[in-house]
Structure 1
Amino acid sequence: MPLLDGESLIRAHLDTNPDGHHAALHDPEYAATVHRVRTVLDRLGHALAVEGVTDEDLAARVGARLVTDLLGTDEANARMAARAQAVKGLYEQGLVRMPMPADLLGSP
């Protein structure tokens, strides 16, 4: 049985970091990073248990530090801002239309 609950550590990090939560939902690269961190935490929890570490508090602190260190959001936010600016530029040039929610388009 692993010592770490990676899902809860990631969830706690995203709950206290709105930028990270936003990036996890809207930036595919950041979402992939969240998935990789979840996998690393799972493997770390198993490795700690196999090595005989029994201190759950220590394991949780190490896991939380990994989550905080690996899920920084600056790059993800910069990518989202760059993409939004690119789409805005295309819109202003008349090359793309702004998407409308389906309920505002009416039925065909």
Structure 2
Amino acid sequence: MAAGRHPVLLTFQTAPRAGERPTGTTVLMVLGETAHLTVPRDDYLISGLVFEQPAELGDTPVLHGIGQVRRYVASTATDLITLTTTRPTSELVAKAGLRKSHRTLYHWSTGQPIV
């Protein structure tokens, strides 16, 4: 998918530790943009969801790509992170915790709703 007006949800979440609740932040971007974020030193799960905007008002967005990388931030130096996404599959959607039993959140590129 070429860069353009495709929304991207970029999430930085601390890696889970026993007895602790993960914390994080989510940034809404456009595919192809560069984010400059300052985060505290920690172990992070960095996730990205790439969407196509709905064709009609009221429709759900289409999920085109999903990617995740784990990175330990250990210094104050700038670190370039490239997140590679792949087409969503049932396994990836479940692993990312995106499958909800109560309602459809969006559709993926196969046209099947993620429920």
TM-score exceeds 0.5: no
Structure (1 or 2) with the larger CA radius of gyration: 1
| TM-score normalised by structure 2 residue count | 0.20
Greater share of strand? 2
Higher relative contact order (CA 8 A, sep 6+): 1
